Amino acid sequence: MMTSRAICRRLLLVQCHRTFTCTGVRHDKHYPLVVLGGGSGGCAVAARACRALGPGKVAVVEPAKYHFYQPMWTLVGAGIQAVESTQNLMADVLPKSCAHIKQRVQGFDPDNNTVELDNGDKLTYDFLVVALGIQLDFNKVEGLIEALKSDPSVCTNYLRNTVEKTFPAIQACKEGEALFTFPNTPIKCAGAPQKIMYLAEEYWRKHGVRDRINVQYLTAPPVIFGVPKYAETLRQICDNRNITVNYRHSLKSIDHTKKEAVFDLLDSDGETVTKKYDFIHVGPPQSGPDVMKNSTSQIVDATGFLDVNKETTQHVKYENIFGLGDCSNIPTSKTAAAVASQHKILFHGLLKAMAGQKPDGKYDGYTSCPLITGYNKCVLAEFDFNGVPMETFPFNQGKERRTMFYVKKLVMPEIYWRMMLKGSWSGPKYIRKLMHLGMSR
């Protein structure tokens, strides 16, 4: 492992070489490392890099004023947490020694180590980390944007400015049809569309109106959850609570004036079904950011996500580009827990690349999804690339547990704000080994 001083010397030599040998127009702003995105992955990588490279060597491109702990928005939607408790100023979570560039990325030119910003400025870099997150495509459901604006019974926990609609909508629903949808696209926090369903169902039950409300989960995939062990638990919960699960249903459009939602039947030849609603929570379609998909360079795969090696997080074509999190095509669930493990692998691979060596990381796909199933219950799913459970605690986490709910509500936010964003939390691997007396991965 190179020392911080050795890394800085190498980067200085690289910069001198660029300054005195490049021809043509020089850009005004150059950094040894540019990080695109100030989400969980961008912050964690920037924190590690600033410690290793020193002040002025790392730039983070992020226009947002606030950083949000989005995993807590399920509890905001259920009336358990205030949305203000999920946010901090971006300036307070980014490392002080980084250059915070408050612009949006407008374009990529990886052949010339350049990114363009929406104000026309250009940044050049020696190494680039892409952590731009996933894009919410509300426009892909006809009528959804207008319905979210105009209909108080249409809600989603996936946006800061709509998550506070959810609990009033739950409270206002006294009878009729309650629909919860999961899209036919990749999605961040794949458990979120059904977690709010379990919380709403419990709220209605406790307030004596559940027998007048028909709760339906309409999901595009053919399974309720991708890991069989936890899927079996969730199927049993739905059976016990009389929740109807409709597989291979993809939300196509909403007409809020008629209180109707139209679904594509994915296993049919273009057939649809129309359902009335009195309440609907939408898990919106999602995709790789347009700025990546629209790039003429070969930075994305056929699905529109950053094309990286799933084990090392290094780009498959451009060796000085790394990526992680929701914008990447790493084939695991898009969660903060996945990012926690990925950023350590990425950073060590980045140091090796800076030293002219080949990254040798072995990310195993670890991710976690705390499946909240009630106001004091949670199934803590943890698994790898292959859907094999990687459970931290020495008991069966496939069961609903009160302890896991409080781990989710109280412990995980503290780890996130105090450790992960500072680059000092890379998942529970060592805790898991301790809990299992060394007999685990």
Strands of 8-65, DSSP E:
29-36, 58-61
- Angle, alpha carbons 77-82-87 (nearest 5°): 105
- Strand, helix or coil for residue 225: coil
Q: Largest Cα–Cα distance of the chain, in whole Å?
A: 76
Burial (0-12, 13-18, 19+ Cβ within 10 Å), 123: buried
* Annotation says 369 is catalytic: yes
Other residues' Cβ atoms within 10 Å of the Cβ of residue 3: 9
Distance CA 353, CA 148 (A): 46
Q: What is the 3-state secondary structure (H, E, C) of 153-217?
A: CEECCCCCCCHHHHHHHHHHCCCEEEEEEECCCCCECCCHHHHHHHHHHHHHHHCCCHHHEEEEE
Structure tokens at 18: 């660029």
Q: Judge contact between 209 and 239, C-beta under 8 A.
A: no
Structure-token pair, residue 42: 């961008």
d(CA 346, CA 303): 22
- The active-site residue out of 189, 238, 327, 378 is 189
CA distance 71 to 332: 17
H/E segment holding residue 433: helix 429-435
Distance from C-alpha of 188 to C-alpha of 333, rounded to nearest angstrom? 7
Instruction: Please confirm, yes or no, whether 155 is among the known catalytic residues.
Output: no
Paired sense of beta strands 213-219 and 176-182, if any: parallel
C-alpha dist (Å) from residue 98 to 137, 156, 233, 321, 331: 31, 34, 45, 19, 30
Rg of the chain (C-alpha set): 23
Cβ contact 63:342 at 8 Å: no
Among residues 43, 173, 238, 369, the one annotated as catalytic is 369
Sequence-ordered list of residues with C-beta below 8 angstroms from that of 332, at least 6 positions apart, any chain: 338, 365, 366, 367, 384, 385
CA 143 to chain centre: 25
* Beta-strand relationship, 66-68 and 87-89: antiparallel
Q: Which residues are catalytic?
A: 189, 369
